[in-house]
Amino acid sequence: MSQTIIVDPVTRIEGHAKVLLDLDDGGKVKSAGLVVNELRGFERILVGMQAATMPAVTARICGVCPSAHAIAAAKAIDAATHAEVPVAGHLLRELLYMGHVIHSHAVHLFALAGPDLLFGVDSDPAKRNIVGIVEAHPVIAKKALRLRSLGQKINETLGGRGVHPVTVVAGGLSFVPTPERMASVTEMATEALALVQELAPPIIQALLALLEKSPQLAGIKQETAYLGTVRNGKLNLYDGTLRLVGADGKILKEFAAAAYAEHLVEHTYDWSYMKPVFAKVDGKEVVYRVGPLARVNLADGMETPLADAALTAFRAQWGRVVHVTALQEHARLIELLYACEKAVLLAKDPAARGNTLAPVTFTAGRGVAHVEAPRGTLLHDYQVDAAGVVRSANLIVATQHNYAAINRSLTQSAEALGVKGPADGNLLNGLEYTIRTYDPCLSCATHAVGRMPMQVSVRKDGVVLYDVRRDS
Amino acid sequence: MTTTKVSVNVEWLSACGGCDTSLVDLHEKILQLFDAVQIQHWPLITDIKERPKAKIGLISGAVRSQHDHKVAVEMRERCDAIVAFGTCAVYGGISAASLAHSNAEILDRVYVHNPTTVGGAAPKNTVAVLEDKVLPLDEVIPVDLYLPGCPPHANFTFEALAAVIAGRVPKARDESVCGRCKRTMKKTEVAAIDSGYAHPMDPSLCFLSQGQICLGSVTLDRCLSPCTEVGAACTGCAGPTMQILTEPNRDLRTEVAERMSLLTKIPAAKVVETMEAGAKSHYAYAMATKMVGSKPTFLIKKWIEKIEATT
Ligand code: SF4
Ligand code: SF4
Ligand code: SF4
């Protein structure tokens, strides 16, 4: 006889889920899975909409990474219409996007992961949040909030809005920013770069201290393959070639986004709205991960000097390919540094001035494009008709790529923690932390966001024995 | 804001998280907010899992599943005042475009007939059962304050919270997006509808004067009209103006058509026809609300079937 447990709710993750734990006859953990409980069905509802609205509409798939969706959609429609986006159009989209990445990584590091880093995973939940950080570490908190604001304001200055930008359109960027706007973006990027350099050392220290205090975290690793994007071998978030490396860091394959269907395959679970994705390698289906850790693992190096030095130091300490899930936060910090440096370079680039928009003409066709969303590779695929109407749509989002690995990690953590009955707070915290290190954006993953309440359902032979939860 | 802290629960239903993120976009003001309120439950950023009693409940997102429904009811029981926060909560928002399809159709596309999914079947164990259709919050629980916007601009949110805290009516005008738009409306000789992407457009002239559809005049300003200044026409993400909502014979397409036909040489009927053909885009944000969906002339399903049937 086997059993199942459910952990509900996992907070501080953008999404909505619970954990299902199946036990074997001896009461030992057999498998664990994250149940994603929400579905909005964008792949169906986009059909029949005007293709030109895809960037603005798909931004609403996820309010946590709207700029990533907008850019992926715009690039896909560029491809479907063969639009020749002017250089300034690409550079300014990328600059807008760096602003978004600064905001998103800063929110994650300080508001989502920060409380665990600064207070420890087993601290008082009432304090373990951003408000607690503001009280306990006012100087760091102020700077972190400022950094986040700068990122979001860069995104807003070029995007028209912070959440759900409107200027990213097929053909480029919908307007030519005035010299005043560009000057303010340059100033903000420069300030962000200075701030991130002040914030990096305390964050790294906190991470090291956390790993020392909770050694079990250093033991949570997943030896998986990794997928991400490189341009000339260097990590790139806006565009480039998809690269898949094995757990040993060897390149398994490189491919263009347009060929994704040959290399990736989605499955379904009958207990979750989210679909896991596997890579097809030599006739086998391989579990891989995406996101900051995946990207720093598979890139030859970073394009900008400070980030590259940070990556070199990271590798010197942890090795060439790093599997420890908690070090995701360190990888995120390296990318945050990169995004700030890259924003300064783009803002000052003379090629980012002048015409930003090419005319777009629809003919029946297909367009596939991708972007590295803050949490990993995001793919948009559209079939459009000559009237500019979407005929079919397919999306693969960051958290889906990580889903198989998340479930493997959950199984590992549950095995390590053991299952001790319905009032097992330790199990809730441990599983919750495991999920959080993946930074899953479940809204995205089911093309729905929702809360992520946590409940562990303990099952044996498919029958729920009891729930572990913390509802009042 | 006051000195005694006011308790707040924040909750999200079928949402994108953008409304929550926009709260953080109060930027420096967020510290002022943290001073004035005691946030007890906010899934995005706090670790408190239960929903204690609170003075204010801020709910973003539409009701998509029975689980959303249950959470909404629980929030109503525990909060003195409920704010429908954002277009999804107020009108159903973007996911309401699913009204045009049955759940079976949606599940089929995502899990069964999907180009990159193998061996697929729609999930049926453990997951929350979907409601038959997307519901705005007030079809499930009574709502005290409506704050549309996708997401609402942080200034409106701040004002709404400050007002509820002080027990007064929020200062928010019933103006349309045109009110703050800097483009000039002027009579032109334009004789055909313009998609807006086939050639460069004039950045200072009203979109309607150029024959491009802009929903600014029929959309409530809860965003400070940022779009038209950066080359984008208003797509109505904050939902309709009071006039459209309350007068049964007024509608997005007839109002826009009337205005555009006055500003150009394009006949109103042509504008109406174009907007019906693009109905799934033009009505994307508010079609789930009865105030739009129950208008006698609103034949969204028929228009959408027509679009999908043409090849
Ligand atoms: S109203 Fe807009 S921003 Fe808010 S949850 Fe809905 S889609 Fe997201
Ligand atoms: S219709 Fe659009 S472009 Fe014209 S004034 Fe109104 S908001 Fe501005
Ligand atoms: S699309 Fe319209 S309602 Fe939405 S933010 Fe832009 S101007 Fe405001």
Give me the mean pLDDT over the B114-137 stretch.
Answer: 83
| pLDDT value at A291 more than 80 | yes
Question: A44 in helix, strand or coil?
Answer: helix
Percentage with pLDDT > 70 across chain A: 85
Q: Which residues of B touch A40 (CB under 8 A)?
A: 14, 64, 95, 98
Strands (E), A267-362: 277-281, 284-286, 288-289
B217 touches ligand 3 (CB under 6 Å): no
CA-based radius of gyration for chain A: 22
Strands A168-169, A172-173: pairing kind: antiparallel
The residue ranking higher by pLDDT, A330 or B128, is A330
B181 touches ligand 2 (CB under 6 Å): yes
Beta-sheet strand order (sheet of B79-85): B37-41, B6-12, B54-60, B79-85, B145-147
Tokens of A198: 């002040």
Residue of B175, B201, B234, B235 with the most ligand 2 atoms within 8 Å of its CB, for mutation:
B234
Mean pLDDT value across chain A: 86
Question: B39 in helix, strand or coil?
Answer: strand
Residue of A53, A161, A163, A167 with the most ligand 3 atoms within 8 Å of its CB, for mutation:
A161
A63 touches ligand 1 (CB under 6 Å): yes
The mean-pLDDT minimum among A235-249, A273-287, A412-426, B291-305 falls in B291-305
Residue A258: per-residue pLDDT = 96
What DSSP state is assigned to residue A15?
Answer: S
Secondary element (H or E) of residue B243: helix B242-246
Residue A467: per-residue pLDDT = 72
Tokens of A102: 């600064």
Q: Which residues of B touch A9 (CB under 8 A)?
A: 43, 49
B212 touches ligand 2 (CB under 6 Å): no
Q: Do the chains contact at A35 and B126, CB–CB below 8 Å?
A: yes
Among the ranges A207-221, A383-397, B23-37, which has the highest mean pLDDT value?
A383-397
Question: A371 in helix, strand or coil?
Answer: strand
Q: How confident is the model at residue A421 (pLDDT cuts 50, 70, 90)?
A: confident
CA A145 to chain CA centroid, nearest Å: 20
Backbone dihedral angles phi then psi of residue A426, each to the nearest 5 degrees: -60, -40
Give me the mean pLDDT over the B227-254 stretch.
Answer: 90
Q: Which residues of B touch A370 (CB under 8 A)?
A: none
Give me the mean pLDDT over the A1-5 stretch.
Answer: 44
Residue A439: per-residue pLDDT = 61
B235 touches ligand 3 (CB under 6 Å): yes
The mean-pLDDT minimum among A288-302, A429-443, B175-189 falls in A429-443
Report the C-alpha gap between B171 and A353 in whole angstroms.
40
Report the C-alpha gap between B235 and A162 in whole angstroms.
16
Nearest by Cα to B308 from B94, B96, B105, B104 = B105
Instruction: State the distance from the centre of ligand 2 to the C-alpha of B182, rounded, in angstroms.
Output: 8
Residue A443: per-residue pLDDT = 40
Q: How confident is the model at residue B292 (pLDDT cuts 50, 70, 90)?
A: low
Report the C-alpha gap between A152 and A307 in whole angstroms.
21
Give me the mean pLDDT over the B56-72 stretch.
Answer: 91
Examine the predicted complex and report whether its ipTM is higher than 0.85. yes
Report the C-alpha gap between A151 and A164 in whole angstroms.
14
Q: How confident is the model at residue A137 (pLDDT cuts 50, 70, 90)?
A: confident
Angle between helices A87-106 and A138-159 (to 10 degrees): 150
Minimum-distance CB partner of A48 among B18, B227, B280: B280
Residue nearest to ligand 1 atom 5, measured at CA: B15
Is residue A288 within 8 A of residue A294, CB to CB? The reply is: yes
Backbone dihedral angles phi then psi of residue A350, each to the nearest 5 degrees: -60, -25
Give me the mean pLDDT over the B109-115 stretch.
Answer: 85
Return the ligand 1 atom nearest residue B60 CA: 5
Ligand with minimal distance to B178 CA: 2
Ligand with minimal distance to B85 CA: 1
- Decide if A128 touches B, using CB distance below 8 A: yes
Report the C-alpha gap between A155 and A164 in whole angstroms.
10
Report the C-alpha gap between A396 and A377 in whole angstroms.
8
Give me the mean pLDDT over the A64-78 stretch.
Answer: 96
Domain edges within chain B: 6-101+133-166, 177-309
Q: How confident is the model at residue A406 (pLDDT cuts 50, 70, 90)?
A: confident
Return the ligand 1 atom nearest residue B86 CA: 1
Percentage with pLDDT > 90 across chain A: 57
Q: How confident is the model at residue A446 (pLDDT cuts 50, 70, 90)?
A: very low
* H-type alpha helices, A122-178: 130-136, 138-159
The residue ranking higher by pLDDT, A136 or A410, is A410
Q: Do the chains contact at B197 and A360, CB–CB below 8 Å?
A: yes
Tokens of B305: 């079937």
| pLDDT value at A4 more than 60 | no
Tokens of A330: 């360190």
Residue B153: per-residue pLDDT = 93
Q: Which residues of A touch B61 (CB under 8 A)?
A: 449-450
B163 touches ligand 2 (CB under 6 Å): no
CA distances from B247 to B243, B291, B303 (A): 6, 9, 22
Strands A241-245, A225-231: pairing kind: antiparallel
The mean-pLDDT minimum among A201-210, A273-282, B72-81, B298-307 falls in B298-307
- Decide if A160 touches B, using CB distance below 8 A: yes
Residue A399: per-residue pLDDT = 82
| pLDDT value at A313 more than 70 | yes
Residues in chain A: 472
Report the C-alpha gap between B16 and A451 in whole angstroms.
10
Report the C-alpha gap between A130 and B239 in whole angstroms.
32
- Residue A344 CB contacts under 8 Å (≥ 6 apart), including other chains: A186, A189, A190, A193
Q: How confident is the model at residue B286 (pLDDT cuts 50, 70, 90)?
A: confident
B177 touches ligand 2 (CB under 6 Å): yes
Among the ranges A6-15, A264-273, A428-437, B222-231, which has the highest mean pLDDT value?
B222-231
Residue A174: per-residue pLDDT = 97
Q: Do the chains contact at A449 and B281, CB–CB below 8 Å?
A: no
The mean-pLDDT minimum among A193-207, A391-405, B38-52, B55-69 falls in B38-52
Q: Do the chains contact at A450 and B232, CB–CB below 8 Å?
A: no
Report the C-alpha gap between A165 and A66 in whole angstroms.
7
Mean pLDDT value across chain B: 86
Domain B6-101+133-166 in CATH 3.30.70.260? The answer is: no
Question: A35 in helix, strand or coil?
Answer: strand
Residue A127: per-residue pLDDT = 62
Report the C-alpha gap between A131 and A164 in whole angstroms.
26
Report the C-alpha gap between A293 and A221 in whole angstroms.
12
Report DSSP letters for A189-246, one per residue. Answer: HHHHHHHHHHHHHHHHHHHHHHHHH-HHHHH-B---EEEEEEETTEE-SSS-EEEEE-
Give me the mean pLDDT over the A111-139 stretch.
Answer: 67
Is residue A375 within 8 A of residue A440, CB to CB? The reply is: yes
Percentage with pLDDT > 70 across chain B: 90
Residue of B210, B217, B227 with the most ligand 2 atoms within 8 Å of its CB, for mutation:
B217
Q: Do the chains contact at B226 and A166, CB–CB below 8 Å?
A: yes
Report the C-alpha gap between B160 and B86 in whole angstroms.
12
Per-residue pLDDT reduced to its tens digit, A24-40: 888 888 888 888 777 87
CA angle B130, B134, B136 (to 5 degrees): 130
CA A3 to chain CA centroid, nearest Å: 32
B94 touches ligand 1 (CB under 6 Å): yes
Nearest by Cα to B275 from B295, B292, B300 = B300
Residues in chain B: 311
Is residue B93 within 8 A of residue B23, CB to CB? The reply is: no
CA distances from A273 to A153, A443, B70, B210 (A): 34, 11, 19, 44
On the CB side of A244, how many CA atoms lie within 13 Å of its CA? 22
Instruction: State the distance from the centre of ligand 3 to the C-alpha of B215, rounded, in angstroms.
Output: 8
Beta-sheet strand order (sheet of A284-286): A264-266, A277-281, A284-286
Report the C-alpha gap between B190 and A314 in whole angstroms.
61
- Partners of residue B14 on adjacent β-strands: B62
Residue B298: per-residue pLDDT = 64
| Minimum Cα–Cα distance from A459: chain B residue | B126
| pLDDT value at A1 more than 50 | no
Return the ligand 1 atom nearest residue A164 CA: 3
Q: Which residues of A touch B213 (CB under 8 A)?
A: none
Q: Which residues of B touch A383 (CB under 8 A)?
A: none
Q: Which residues of A touch B223 (CB under 8 A)?
A: 161
| pLDDT value at A8 more than 70 | no
| pLDDT value at A173 more than 50 | yes
- Partners of residue B34 on adjacent β-strands: none
Per-residue pLDDT reduced to its tens digit, B163-200: 888 888 888 788 999 999 999 999 999 999 999 999 99
Q: Do the chains contact at B106 and A44, CB–CB below 8 Å?
A: yes
| Minimum Cα–Cα distance from A125: chain B residue | B47
Q: How confident is the model at residue A129 (pLDDT cuts 50, 70, 90)?
A: low
The residue ranking higher by pLDDT, A340 or A272, is A340
- Those of residues 448-467 in A touching chain B at CB distance below 8 A are 448-454, 457
Tokens of B8: 């707040």
Q: What domains sit in chain A, N to C, each tagged with a CATH number?
A: 3-38+419-470 (no CATH), 42-399 (1.10.645.10)
- AA identity, residue A369: A
Chain position carrying tokens 């061996």: B119
Residue A472: per-residue pLDDT = 26
Q: How confident is the model at residue B17 (pLDDT cuts 50, 70, 90)?
A: confident
CA distances from A151 to A96, A116, A421, B27 (A): 9, 23, 45, 11
Q: Which residues of A touch B226 (CB under 8 A)?
A: 160-161, 166
Nearest by Cα to A98 from A179, A18, A188 = A188
Residue A109: per-residue pLDDT = 81
Angle between helices B154-166 and B29-36 (to 10 degrees): 20
| pLDDT value at A75 more than 90 | yes
